[in-house]
Amino acid sequence: MSHTKREPVKFAYWVPNVSGGLVISNIEQRTSWTIDYNRKLAQIAEASGFEYALSQIRFTAGYGAEFQHESVSFSHALLESTKTLKVIAAILPGPWNPALAAKQIATINHLTNGRVAVNVVSGWFRGEFAAIGEHWLDHDERYRRSEEFIRAMRGIWTEDNFAFRGDFYRFNNYSLKPKPLDPQPEIFQGGSSRAARDMAARVSDWYFTNGNTPDQIAKQVNDIRTKAKENNHFVRIGVNGFAIVRETEEEAKAVLAEIIEKANPEAVNAFGHEVKNAGKASPEGEGNWAKSSFEDLVQYNDGFRSNLIGTPRQVAERIIDLKRAGADLILLGFLHFQEEVEYFGKHVIPLVRELEAAEAVQSVAAE
Ligand SMILES: Cc1cc2nc3c(=O)[nH]c(=O)nc-3n(C[C@H](O)[C@H](O)[C@H](O)COP(=O)(O)O)c2cc1C
């Protein structure tokens, strides 16, 4: 498929349903984890051209995030406050089993005219698992469980008399009623390790990865798409980025410098230690954060690496570069969510659409 014939790139934002914002820094963040703030944010986002919102699941405080609202119920509240936005609820196998998840999401699907989606997270936070009495499985076992979870959830949604014999889950002659409306809820997943990619290439509708350069994203995309093709599966790609869009490049860069300067080094290093350990336990000794520097880790998911920091035009051009590398969706974090989501919708998304239209014209001319 030629890039230029692809659909317009989609935009999602991180729902700040946990406190402390999206950067581990003492810089001022005019963002709140409360429901009132989030309802208004969701309405601003859908009016600004955002198609998705991604909520987070955290059971305990870690590095920031002292307070955390639960993701499925919070997502439902946001869906009730909006008309078109799709909200992706994060679910962690372990605390959730697929029977509950499938039932819960099917009901929300009916209540919201099919606008709920799911992000199956596999876990990186050992201390959190210990705190809530969940077994900490080895890295690849976590993904084996997530894959069974996804297969079971999808099976429950689509089959009557569903039967499943897995190592983690079992179902016998189970018929969920009502099933979700068509099209089925989309299933997202996060992670960049070998196991994460292989799972995406087999069962996920969407693969979310940490921020990175277009070159590195292209490598991941080619790897996943080749494997997915072998499996007769199609998977879309979402890339994380932390957006700092200002009238001048200097202003935007100064904000980044201030975020780093005011970073909390102990918390950033402790977070780095935790996520690198979680990744090291993978057979290839890598994972989402294998190459992350101190600066990268100040944003939980390497969002600065996508370099969406500059003027509206610079950022729009870089989004097109990420799209060329294979991104179908850009997931965004901001310092001051309500103001910046609105600014992004007004000043960046229209430029992205212009650039996409210009590319389409060029490719028609070239054919
Ligand atoms: C976009 C995105 C969103 C994520 N959301 C959550 C979340 O809400 N809660 C959580 O515990 N982990 C979350 N994760 C972590 C992943 O599920 C996974 O455990 C982690 O990326 C480790 O990946 P690895 O296999 O590449 O090491 C998220 C990851 C990404 C990329």
Ligand 1: atom nearest CA of 238 is: 1
Topology adopted by domain 10-366: TIM Barrel (3.20.20)
Of the candidates 299, 309, 293, the residue with the CA atom closest to the CA atom of residue 14: 299
pLDDT tens-digit map of 69-106: 999 999 999 999 999 999 999 999 999 999 999 999 99
- Sign for the CA dihedral angle at 216, 218, 224, 227 comes to negative
pLDDT tens-digit map of 266-315: 888 888 888 887 776 677 766 677 778 888 998 989 999 999 999 999 99
Domain residues of the chain, as ranges? 10-366
Residue nearest to atom 11 of ligand 1 (CA): 123
Distance 121 CA to ligand 1 centre (A): 5
pLDDT-above-90 percentage for the chain:
83
What is the C-alpha separation between 184 and 186, in angstroms, rounded?
Answer: 6
Q: Which two tokens stand for residue 287?
A: 């994972």
pTM of the predicted model, to two decimals?
0.95
Residue nearest to atom 2 of ligand 1 (CA): 190
E strand spans, 204-247: 206-209, 236-242, 244-245
Q: Which of 10, 91, 121, 274 to mutate to test the pocket of ligand 1 (most atoms within 8 A of CB)?
A: 121
**What was the pLDDT predicted at 21?**
93
Distance 347 CA to ligand 1 centre (A): 30
What is the C-alpha separation between 33 and 68, in angstroms, rounded?
Answer: 8
Of the candidates 179, 192, 92, 102, the residue with the CA atom closest to the CA atom of residue 142: 92
Q: Which two tokens stand for residue 298?
A: 């100040």
